[in-house]
Amino acid sequence: MATSRRRWFTVALLLLVVASLWRGLASRAWRLPPLPATPGTPYAAPPDDDFIWRRLKHRYPVTSLRPLPTAGADALPGVQAHFAAEAPERKQQRLQRRDAIRAAFVKSWTAYKEHAWLRDEVTPVTGQQKDTFGGWGATLVDSLDTLWIMDLGADFEAAVDAAHRSISFATTQAHTVNVFETTIRFLGGLLSAYDLSGDARLLAKARDVGHMLYAAFDTPNHLPVTRWDLHAAARGEAQAAHASTLLAEMGSLGLEFTRLSLVTGDARYHDAVQRIAELLAAAQPATKVPGLWPILVDAAAEDFDAGADYALGGMADSAYEYLPKMAALLGQGAGLYADMYARSVEASRAHLFFQPLTPTGEAMLFPGVLHASVTDGLVETRLETSAGHLICFTGGMLALGGRLLANATHLDWAAKLTRGCLWAYDSLPTGVMPETSLLAACPDAASPCAWDESVWHAAVARAQPPGEARATIRDQRLPPGFAHIPDPRYILRPEAIESVFLMYRTTGDPRWQDRAWAMWTAIDALTSTPLANSAVWDVNTPAGEAPAKADSMESFWLGETLKYFYLIFSEPGLVSMDEWVFNTEAHPFRRLRGGTVGV
């Protein structure tokens, strides 16, 4: 057995050397990246040197671990469509669009390299640097897999070397660490770049992040401190999960922690997040709105129905998103994650989805926010017909889930949800959707309704301070169907293009590519600066006026937004959805298939 392990280890090293040599020799358009280690293949762990998180003794050690997951027995349906042959002129147009996106990425990446290397972000107007996520080089790590996917080999090698040599997760100057953001950006970014490239330096660094984050689970009930005082933990001080915790920050760690367990063979990471999933599953049928969890949960008391507001958008979003994605990662068409996903979608359709009132009457949906209260044991609810940019991931979520579970109804809702966000984009003079808005709604979400200006005006009157609706619409330049725009910013978010990408990959319909290009031209015109692209303060400015730039470019611009735009114009076999699943920061992980990783 020992001889066998050494033989496998030698073969793995040779494969890494060959992959490194091959990387610069050929186009990657249809080439499969090298396979990383699989469960059962020996993993050479770095030595337990002076890295504090490997030496730290836990106050509440876990004494029994759930076993590593293996691929489900189900043969899941394919996610990707069968793509028709492409006409030469259509291919030429697609490649020109793809290359334009790549050029925009290179522009933003160059600004980061020249002005903020190894810092979290570059300011795209003034060319300054700032740290927003621990000072661990968020833009660098978030961009690693995009660099690989876009075949920017020299920049990828330089970024990997910098991450390996110059970024340490031993400590930070930040007072607290957001465990969720650190997981999706840093752990997710490193694991995905490892899955794509097979570079062992990335896995070693991901293991460092995993060791650090696992210390946040050292609480009496083994639920994490989501806004975490890393420094107190390093001193060995006692810590406990918080009574007020966002659902998304508690329920969106599963993909990254499970993937880390799969590639290292260390079951404790998967054990930690599986415990959360089991608590969510137990609570789901018995919440005030069965099938859904509130935005706020009490992690200290393990109460997953502590809050009163239920939504799929901000602060809850990725907890729902990860349900079908965990099913995809593990190859399970039934069981814990698939069942929770199915129940949550049915509850969303019953309680959250609404049809917006629009001049065209096109069939579309948005998920609103449900406010629940309990009086004398009876639950009363009120639906707020809001439409934040963050909810625009839902179309893609249902497209993925609908394909995995072969549910045609979910696929129909996916198209309607995605069309809703595209309508919101088209409705604004800049061609870009605002961060948050309130909409007038049809009385019946099941079918479109005819345009009625009086219904729109009544919605404006309810949403705004006292005043005449026509004057409010004129003064605030409200597009037809919009009742209020509380936050008119665009901060380079990826959620809408994410759903358009998934609709294209699941249907093969090239019209989704055309919609994506319209989105891109509007976004680039709105946000471009001489250095890169910047968030803007107001997408609803008067015609002819340029919106003021916010001088901000979060790492997800390079890690998510530009990646999805690039992939929708790339060959569909590049990062196939039948082989990969994206985390909420658009980092692709190899799906577990047939009991092995990526096989």
CA angle 494, 495, 500 (to 5 degrees): 100
Q: What is the DSSP string of 259-279?
A: HHHHHH--THHHHHHHHHHHH
What span, in angstroms and rounded, lies between the C-alpha atoms of 99 and 255? 31
How does 522-539 read in b/e, with b if 16+ C-beta sit within 10 Å?
A: bbeebbbbebbbbbbebb
Q: Which segments of 40-183 does DSSP mark as H helices, in order?
A: 52-55, 88-116, 138-149, 153-166, 179-182
What span, in angstroms and rounded, lies between the C-alpha atoms of 153 and 113? 15
Cα-to-chain-centroid distance, residue 230: 24
Residue 356 near residue 417, CB atoms below 8 Å: no
- What sign has the CA pseudo-torsion 344, 580, 178, 261? positive
What span, in angstroms and rounded, lies between the C-alpha atoms of 581 and 588? 5
- 506: CB partners within 8 A, 6+ apart: 79, 80, 81, 399, 400, 402, 403, 411, 414, 577
What span, in angstroms and rounded, lies between the C-alpha atoms of 209 and 203? 10
Q: What Cα–Cα distance (Å) separates residue 113 from each residue in 117, 162, 493?
A: 5, 11, 22
Q: What Cα–Cα distance (Å) separates residue 557 from each residue in 139, 145, 316, 450, 495?
A: 9, 13, 21, 38, 11
| 409 marked as binding residue | no
Q: What is the 3-state secondary structure (H, E, C) of 316-338?
A: CHHHHHHHHHHHHHHCCCCCHHH
Q: Which segments of 453-510 does DSSP mark as H helices, in order?
A: 453-463, 469-476, 495-507
Residue 201 near residue 20, CB atoms below 8 Å: no
Active-site residue list: 181, 317, 435, 495
Residue 433 near residue 539, CB atoms below 8 Å: yes
List residues forming the annotated binding site for Ca(2+).
584
List residues forming the annotated binding site.
584
